[in-house]
Amino acid sequence: MKNKILYFAVLVLSLSFCISCKEGVAQEEETIEMVTPDEAEKLSKMKDVKLLDVRTKEEFNEGHIANAQNLVYDENFSEKIGKLDKEKPVIVYCKSGGRSEKCAQILKDSGFVKVYDIKGGITEWKFEGKNTEK
């Protein structure tokens, strides 16, 4: 009988620990949110939202989303973002999503409160008929 009580107590403690761990992970993951081009377009019009294009200068000059700042993803990316306000939301994009996913993680790890990543990058943005500028 004592073994059953001990087993039950350990089981309850283990489950409560697992639940609290998952809640912590969920809160951490909420810092980065994948958004559609439509959602990104609406967000980019809000005050204090920074739009970052992490493609190369050449790619940026071929066409980018209006009001985007070009912050090339390279070995110095962490230093470049040090000049940005971490308390303001950031929308990040690249060509199709690979680089922006890495950059979004770097932004989150650097303490940015809210990071949005455009699903499919500028390729999806253009596919949906959204405007770009040079």
Token pair, residue 109, equals: 């790890």
Q: What is the pTM of this model?
A: 0.76
Residue keyed to tokens 């809000």: 46
Single-letter residue type at 46: M
- Digit-coded pLDDT (tens) for 33-58: 999 999 999 999 888 999 999 999 99
Per-residue pLDDT tens digits of the chain, which is 134 residues long: 555 554 444 444 444 444 444 444 444 446 899 999 999 999 998 889 999 999 999 999 999 999 999 999 999 999 999 989 999 999 999 999 999 999 999 999 999 999 999 999 999 999 999 999 99
Output the CA torsion sign for 102, 107, 111, 115. Answer: negative
Q: Report residue 36 CA to chain centroid gap.
A: 12
Residues marked active site are found at 94
Please state, in angstroms and rounded to a whole number, the distance separating the CA atoms of residues 33 and 113.
Answer: 11
Cα 84 from Cα 68, distance rounded (Å): 14
